[in-house]
Structure 1
Amino acid sequence: MARAARGRPARLSRDTICQAALDLLADTDAATFSLRALGDRLGVDATAIYRHFHDKDDLLREVGDRALAPVTRGFTTSADARDDIRRMCTRLRKTMLRSQVALTLTAFGPTRRGNELRITEVMLDALSRCGLSEEETVMAYHVLIEYTIGSATLDGPLAAPGADRRGTYRTWRADYAGLPVEQYPTSVRMAQKLYPSSDVVFAAGLDALIAGLTGRQ
């Protein structure tokens, strides 16, 4: 519980509320998150939170945007538009894999705040610099964002230490290798090549998407 010295409730601010919300979301999830539970964690009545945020949606959008801060922190654009796209998508996926809160809150849609707006601006600008029309730019933006978030969502449960992931992949490959060869000859033959690093798979897919969407073969 966020409390100041002498056991009194901590002075509320947007920062203290957001930090407590991040902690609560890490312990629960967005579906069960409530302002009442947040108030309990802060040691205040839930109504006090409304002095800083309009409602639960307003708060979750702010928390979600703060969770995206590592994506934009220190990011600079370059003369290579395709590299800008690649770096931004890679940063977004990495941030979501490291922050379950960021990944969970994407279900609520774009935050439409500082960090998310910066991501959108960089992506749209880079795609435009690839020579796409506005319609092509917007479609390519959505394809790339959905691919990136989808990859993070799929790989999130496996975002364990490297040794654990490698062990999981070895088990999967062994299962394929042990299939009846008369039924699954190709799967058995290629079993030891299945399930390389998820980062490698993401990068390969991202490069293919960028090449296809921007007309570079």
Structure 2
Amino acid sequence: MAKQMVSDSPRRRRRPTKQGVVLSEQTIIETALRLLRHHGSAGLSARRLGAALGADPSTLYRYFHGIDDLTLAIADELIGRSFHGWEPTGDWWRDLYALGIRSHAAYLDHPQAAVLSASRVSGRASEQSAVDTILGILREAGFPDGAAVRLYRAFVDQMLAFAALDGAELALPDDVRASDRELWRSSYTQLPAETHPHIAATAGLLVGLADRSAYPDALELFLDGARALLQRLEMTRDPAGT
């Protein structure tokens, strides 16, 4: 049987831990993010959380049903951080581009958490607000509902896929990541035009792009494709707008 959850106000009234920390859902989430940064997903456990908070490990279950429930809360926290401070401009292309870049950056601020949570559905408040906001941008831009839903899904999944990919790279040990990037220089720049003509012709450009994510380029291409779709839809609509 799942342990009984406590409401937020009683949590705040609880006595501080041995380290003087007054526990709350948010405190546990932030501590979990720190543990993930330093220890990876293997370091996220009730025992480690309890030690970091100066509390009994069982305390976690007063706030979350378990580590998986905490993982969903972390996913929702990253989504919320993506939208913090964002203001719509009314230009759907620019608004979605800004949200994509902000979301990708929020995940990469916590690469281990990105790898752990990018494939999850939190079902929580920040995620629900994000889904409604993005669908609203697309519908108000003029996309019919079917297209808006498909584009929403593609937009979010593209960002999450890059967040997981780029997060996994950032989570590698520094020497391994540096070695992988050096291979672009030591291997691809040495290939002869006789056997690999296209690589030889573009090797400098390939190496130049090795140190940055391809996500901004992919996002721009996606949004340009969405804009072309909207233009085609507008051309085929009858005067009644059906």
TM range (shorter): 0.7 to 0.9
CA contact 1:82–1:127 (8 Å) conserved in 2? no
Q: 1:99 aligns with which of 91, 94, 110?
A: 110
**Normalising by the residue count of structure 1, what TM-score does the alignment of the two structures yield?**
0.79
Match of 2:194 in 1: 182
CA contact 1:177–1:189 (8 Å) conserved in 2? no
Greater CA drift, 180-189 or 114-123: 114-123
Secondary structure of the equivalent of 1:194? helix
Change (3 A) 1:25 1:166: closer
Greater CA drift, 183-192 or 52-61: 52-61
Paired residues for 1:27-176 under 5 Å: 27-30=38-41, 33-156=44-167, 157=169, 172-176=184-188
What code does the residue aligned with 2:187 have? D
**Normalising by the residue count of structure 2, what TM-score does the alignment of the two structures yield?**
0.72
Q: 2:204 aligns with which of 176, 192, 199?
A: 192
Q: Distance in 1 between matches of 2:37 and 2:83?
A: 22
RMSD of aligned Cα (Å): 3.1
CA contact 2:29–2:70 (8 Å) conserved in 1? yes
Instruction: Give the count of matched residue pairs.
Output: 210
CA contact 2:35–2:43 (8 Å) conserved in 1? no
1:205 aligns with 2:196: no
Q: Distance in 2 between matches of 1:117 and 1:199?
A: 31
Aligned-residue offset at 1:55: 2.6
Match of 1:25 in 2: 36
Q: Distance in 2 between matches of 1:213 and 1:188?
A: 34
Match of 2:7 in 1: none
Match of 1:10 in 2: 21
Greater CA drift, 179-188 or 19-28: 19-28
Deviations 1:193-215 (A, max 9, x none): 21444657432221221121342
Q: Distance in 2 between matches of 1:91 and 1:110?
A: 19
Secondary structure of the equivalent of 1:132? coil
CA contact 1:68–1:102 (8 Å) conserved in 2? no
Larger radius of gyration: 2
Q: Distance in 2 between matches of 1:84 and 1:199?
A: 22
Q: Distance in 2 between matches of 1:55 and 1:181?
A: 56
Q: Distance in 1 between matches of 2:26 and 2:182?
A: 44
User: Which runs of 5 or more residues in structure 1 are unaligned?
Assistant: none
Aligned-residue offset at 1:174: 5.0
Greater CA drift, 8-17 or 68-77: 8-17
CA contact 1:89–1:148 (8 Å) conserved in 2? yes
What code does the residue aligned with 1:67 have? L
